[in-house]
Structures are given as structure tokens and as C-alpha cells.
Amino acid sequence: MIDIPVEKNSEEEQSTTEQLKEYKLLTELSEDQRLEMELIAEIRHASDRKNKSRLIEEAANKLEKSTRTIRRMVTKVEQEGLAALCSTVRSDRG
């Protein structure tokens, strides 16, 4: 996986932290990652809380994860973008 920062036009003013969080991903998505991405996008675009809760339940069942995990994934994507869904290598990995 290779992360390349996205360059912004001088017209587009952003804070330093926002600039650091914005990356383009150059990698192939697995079917599971693609499904996660689609389900999370659907949850983020939910019209109301009731619909959002229903979509979270459905996503948890489809992905075989807890609703809490799905909520964490949605929050992480909202904060860091889709790059948050990519697998990372643990620093203590042997």
C-alpha cells in the first residue's frame, strides 16, 4: 500500500491537520473492503437516526461484526477518510 498526499490548490484553504489527513490510496480493494466501504457510505448518507441505526444493524450482520465496531468504523472514516478502512501493519509485528 502506498499513500500519496493530495495536493490542494492555493484557493482551497485548509487547516494543517486536515491537510495531513487527506490522502489518495493506491491499492486494490478486496471484496470485503469494497463491501465495508459501500455499507459505511450508505450509513453516512442515512436520512435520520432510525434509518442509520437500522443500516448499522444490517452492516453488522453482513460483515459479521458488532454494531459497536461498525460505529467505530464509521467514526474513523468520518475523521480520516476512506484510508481508515485499510489494513495496517502492527508496529510490534515480528
Sequence-separated (6 or more) residues with CB below 8 Å from residue 55: 39, 42, 43, 46
What's the predicted TM-score (pTM) here? 0.64
> Residues 60, 46, 49, CA angle at the centre, nearest 5°?
80
pLDDT per position in the chain (94 positions), as tens?
Answer: 444 444 555 455 555 445 444 544 545 677 888 899 999 999 999 999 999 999 999 999 999 999 999 999 999 999 988 777 777 777 787 6
